[in-house]
Amino acid sequence: MFDYISKKELELIDKYFEQYIEFTQYKQNSFEYIEKTGNKKLDKLFNRWNTKIRETDNSIKKDIKLIGELVLTTDKLSQGIFMCRINSTTNNPMISTLANTINQMLDSLEKNMEQLESTLKSYANDDFRISIKIDEILKSRMLSVMQSINYLGNTLNSNAKENLKNGDSLKEKTTNMNDLMNSLAKEANTQASSLEEISASVEDITSIARNNVKSALQMVELGKNVKNSVLNGQDLAQKTVFSMDEIDNKVKAINSAITIIDQIAFQTNILSLNAAVEAATAGEAGKGFAVVAQEVRNLANKSADAAKEIKILVEDANLKASDGKNISETMIEDYNNLNNIISKTIKIIEDVNKASQEQVLGMEQINNNISLLDKTTQENAEKSNLTLKFTKDIEDLAKKLVENANSKKFI
């Protein structure tokens, strides 16, 4: 090909190839072309080489540009930007295939990310009706992510339905509970008012019972006084009987004395008659004696008459004394009966007093229990009102829960 190549030309060729090797190995960015050497044959060779190297340079520049876009695209991808693509072309089939593969990957990623974004936005807006359509070519981590998102959607959908169901149930139950608590609060307040009235009534009854105890004690005391008076009356009646017996004995003695007086008067009268007969026999001398005998007779008659009157009076007095004795004995018997009745009455009053005292103790215990119950009822009423407030709050929360559940869209 060449007749002769000088050493200088060989050095130039060697330098050219070393530069070519450095250039093709990306150790230098530019290439110094050799256009003229003074050797036409060599210049023709260098021109052919320059043409090829320029073609190589253009391919390398295209590769570098494409690789630069690839770097920028992957950098954007690392930032979560999926819209970038590699638009440059190259004559290198391997790099071109790599670019196409990356673009297809980006298309798939963008499509999947759009589905993810759209689905998650729907979930964020409480719409759980959609799910991701998973491409059959997906595998490994991306497939797991897609499946997890769909599982999340199904879970949120089920939870929304369950929340609505539970919210409706809770709303119904809290409404019923609120009605019950309203009724309970009203009943508790009514019960508290009733207990206050009962407490006042029991206090009044207790006061009356205490007064009854006092009255019963007074009645017992009066009964004892009456009993003492009855005993005194019975004693006086007994003494009256004794006195009547003594009067009867005295009357009997007087009757005996009157009988004697009557006999004396009868004997005196006979003696005066005899004296008058003797005085008449004596004549003038016996006139004075006759007068005396007549006076004695008159006195004897008066004594007899007086004795009869006294006897009548004594018999009448004896009759009266006998009646008085009978009356006194009847009084004693009546006093005995009255004493028994009073004793029984006192016993009854004492029993009533004892029962009244026990009643007072019982009423005081009842009053204490009612006071405690009233306090408890008041506290229960307050708690019922507080529980009613809590129930109302729960009911409001249940309504909000139902409203929130209704705002969600699910299958």
pLDDT tens-digit profile, the chain (411 residues)? 545 677 888 888 888 889 888 877 878 777 888 878 777 888 888 899 989 888 888 888 898 899 999 999 999 888 888 888 999 999 889 999 999 999 998 888 888 888 888 888 888 888 888 788 887 777 788 788 888 888 888 888 878 788 778 878 877 877 777 777 677 667 767 776 776 777 777 777 778 877 777 777 777 777 777 777 767 777 776 777 677 777 777 777 877 878 888 788 788 878 777 877 777 787 776 667 677 777 777 777 777 787 788 778 877 777 877 777 788 778 788 778 877 888 888 888 888 778 877 877 877 788 788 778 778 878 877 887 788 787 778 878 777 777 777 776 667
- Asked if residue 172 belongs to a domain, the reply is no
Same domain for 119 and 226, yes or no, is no
Is position 381 within any domain?
A: yes
Question: Would 54 be classed as within a structural domain?
Answer: yes
pLDDT at 289: 66
Q: Does residue 209 sit in the same domain as residue 307?
A: yes
pLDDT at 184: 67
pLDDT of residue 6: 76
Q: Do 215 and 362 belong together in one domain? A: yes
| Cβ atoms 291, 357 nearer than 8 A | no
Identify the CATH number of the domain in which residue 375 sits: 1.10.287.950
Residue 155 located in a structural domain: no
Rg of the Cα trace of the chain? 76
Q: How far is CA 170 from CA 128, 156, 157, 178, in A?
A: 23, 20, 19, 11
- Tell me the DSSP string of 227-257: HHHHHHHHHHHHHHHHHHHHHHHHHHHHHHH
Same domain membership, residue 374 and residue 228: yes
pLDDT of res. 74? 92
Is residue 136 domain-resident?
no
Contact 138, 355 (CB under 8 A): no
| Secondary-structure breakdown of the chain: helix, strand, coil percentages, each rounded to the nearest 5 | 85, 0, 15
Domain end, chosen from 125, 144, 177, is at 125
* pTM over 0.75, yes/no: no
Q: Hey, what's the torsion of the CAs at 384, 389, 395, 401, to 10 degrees?
A: -140
- The verdict on residue 158 lying in a domain is no
Query: What pLDDT does residue 4 have?
Result: 63
Q: Could you give the CA distance from residue 171 to residue 176 in angstroms, rounded to a whole number?
A: 9
Count of domains for the chain:
2
In a domain, 224, yes or no: yes
Residues 109, 11 share a domain: yes
Backbone angles phi, psi at 232, to 5 degrees: -65, -45
Based on the fold, state whether residues 19 and 120 are members of the same structural domain: yes
Write out the residue range of the structural domain in which residue 87 sits. Answer: 7-125
E-strand ranges in 183-227 read none
Query: Both 118 and 219 in a single domain?
Result: no
Question: Could you tell me which of 342, 343, 339, 354 has the C-alpha nearest to residue 216?
Answer: 354
Q: Which of 125, 159, 181 is the last residue of a domain?
A: 125
Last residue of a domain, one of 104, 125, 146: 125
In a domain, 318, yes or no: yes
Query: For the domain that residue 62 is a member of, what is the CATH number?
Result: 1.20.120
pLDDT for the residue numbered 66: 94
